[in-house]
Structure 1
Amino acid sequence: MSVYEIARIMPSIGLLRQRAQSLAVLDAILCPNADSRRYFYSVQWRLDSQLFWMDSGTGDDLSVTFPAGAFVRGFAHESPMSPAENSDELWPGMLDGLPAEFESLLEEPSFMYKDVLSATFCMWRAATDGQWRHGSVDLPETDTSSSDVDGSEMMRVLCEEAPPLYVDFAETYYPMPVSREAVEQIWRTVPLTESLVRELNPSVGMAELIEEVGLAAYPVASQCFTLSGIR
């Protein structure tokens, strides 16, 4: 799979944002230690932009920026398309056709490798556009068994109507059984309740999730609020 295939199955900007927020909240519930989490979301990244990001912990990372539209940047450290494998240069054609409104993101320090964008694939969609777009890249031939030459497979979890990929990941990555039903509710952005949180992780309560839920702008059931905040 490559950016060409992923772009064809990407959801709308609104649905992508919703699923990104859900992933961040799911990870916050299952893993209270932020240093060990994989997925994060912040509505406070910039005044005009929200940010979803993934850190594999093994050298791969992903960011989805939501200004007026969406810009996806992914980096797979073993990809032959990595700048480190190409004289510290971005793979040719990767940003061909990028709208001007996304250009400032190309100089975001946290997205950089040395003086170049740290990316093995990119996609974008302007707020007024009807489809996802990407540059015209010639994918390299590879002598490995992996078909994920550019690392874009990491976007698959955000392209699914149901979240089996996340459940499979969580059951492997976190040392606990994961309730598929509870995950599906959060995937559909059902408002959080104490019981829903504890169905996923009995050792975590709503009060411990105030910051993460707020950063993700995820909905919380009204009965979970008091005059001073979340119960």
Structure 2
Amino acid sequence: MNVIDTLPEPENLKKLLKILSSLNIVLCPEEWLRYHSFVSEFDKNVSLASIDNGSGDNLFIVFAPQGTIIKGFDHESEVSPYARDEHEVWPGIYEEVPTSLLSLLEDEAITKEDVTFCFWRENNDLTWQQGEVEIPAGVEDGSDFLLGTIFRTAEDFVEFAEGYFELTLPLEVVAQVYEGAAITKEMIKALNPDGDIEQILRDLAELDS
């Protein structure tokens, strides 16, 4: 099964990315070191989720009234513009993207030209879409790897946090967050005993604004 076929519905994807961002806020005071981030009001009626592993790979997901677009960049992929002599985007990645969605990638923060895959979904689409991209056998575009960092379960996030943040988290508390529970002071203490609780609560409030 292709990774595009495993993607959640846009609204469920948005909820999941907000959950991941909220956990990163609790665990990591330095915004620039957070793996998962979410900006509720990136633009008018537009939200932006991002994933950055700090090693040159990133994922941007823009949620807008007209639909949702995902842009990923695996810096080691042979599909990368930097791996091509002409330094151009790989053919087929953007050609079929609806203009109304492609325009959402124009913001400098999203680095539109740094791309190895792109998926999208307009409001009337029943499934996620991808352009006709021909990639040689054995070449990876990074979509499996990067979309795999949208952790679907509390267990997966706990395992990730142990490696990335070097923290052992209480699974039952992370599971509560995944179930949609509002993060309380007690939960913050359980997840990050040394965290600045008031600052974390302010950052969480901004996430939900």
SS of the residue aligned with 1:124? Answer: strand
Question: Are residue 122 (structure 1) and residue 123 (structure 2) matched?
Answer: no
- Size of the aligned set, in residue pairs, is 206
Matched residues, percent identical? 28
State how 1:161-172 maps to structure 2 within 5 Å: 162-172=153-163
Shift of 1:168: 1.6
CA deviation profile, 1:33-71 (whole Å, cap 9, x unmatched): 223221111112111310011111111011000112211
Shift of 1:72: 0.4
In structure 2, runs of 5+ residues without a counterpart are none
Q: Match of 1:131, as an amino acid? A: T
SS of the residue aligned with 2:47? Answer: strand
State how 1:26-65 maps to structure 2 within 5 Å: 26-65=23-62
What is residue 227 of structure 1 aligned with on the other side?
none
Q: Distance in 1 between matches of 2:26 and 2:137?
A: 40
Q: Distance in 2 between matches of 1:106 and 1:19?
A: 21
Q: Match of 1:50, as an amino acid? A: S
Q: For 1:23, which of 20, 23, 26 is the aligned residue? A: 20
SS of the residue aligned with 2:121? Answer: strand
Question: Are residue 173 (structure 1) and residue 180 (structure 2) matched?
Answer: no
What is residue 229 of structure 1 aligned with on the other side?
none
Runs of 4+ in 1 over 3 A off after TM superposition: none
What is residue 204 of structure 1 aligned with on the other side?
195
Q: Distance in 1 between matches of 2:154 and 2:136?
A: 31
Q: Match of 1:67, as an amino acid? A: A
Question: Are residue 91 (structure 1) and residue 97 (structure 2) matched?
Answer: no
In structure 1, runs of 5+ residues without a counterpart are 219-231
8 Å CA contact 1:157–1:165 kept in 2: the answer is no
What is residue 75 of structure 1 aligned with on the other side?
73
Question: Are residue 156 (structure 1) and residue 154 (structure 2) matched?
Answer: no
Q: Distance in 1 between matches of 2:2 and 2:151?
A: 11
Shift of 1:10: 0.5
Q: Distance in 1 between matches of 2:13 and 2:183?
A: 19
State how 1:91-110 maps to structure 2 within 5 Å: 91-110=90-109
SS of the residue aligned with 2:25? Answer: helix
Q: TM-score, normalised by structure 1?
A: 0.82
8 Å CA contact 2:158–2:168 kept in 1: the answer is no
SS of the residue aligned with 2:130? Answer: coil
Q: Distance in 1 between matches of 2:81 and 2:91?
A: 10
Q: TM-score, normalised by structure 2?
A: 0.90
8 Å CA contact 1:193–1:206 kept in 2: the answer is no
What is residue 175 of structure 2 aligned with on the other side?
184
Q: Match of 2:79, as an amino acid? A: M
8 Å CA contact 1:10–1:159 kept in 2: the answer is no
Q: Match of 1:97, as an amino acid? A: E
Q: Match of 2:126, as an amino acid? A: G
SS of the residue aligned with 1:74? Answer: strand
SS of the residue aligned with 2:148? Answer: helix
Q: Distance in 1 between matches of 2:104 and 2:170?
A: 37
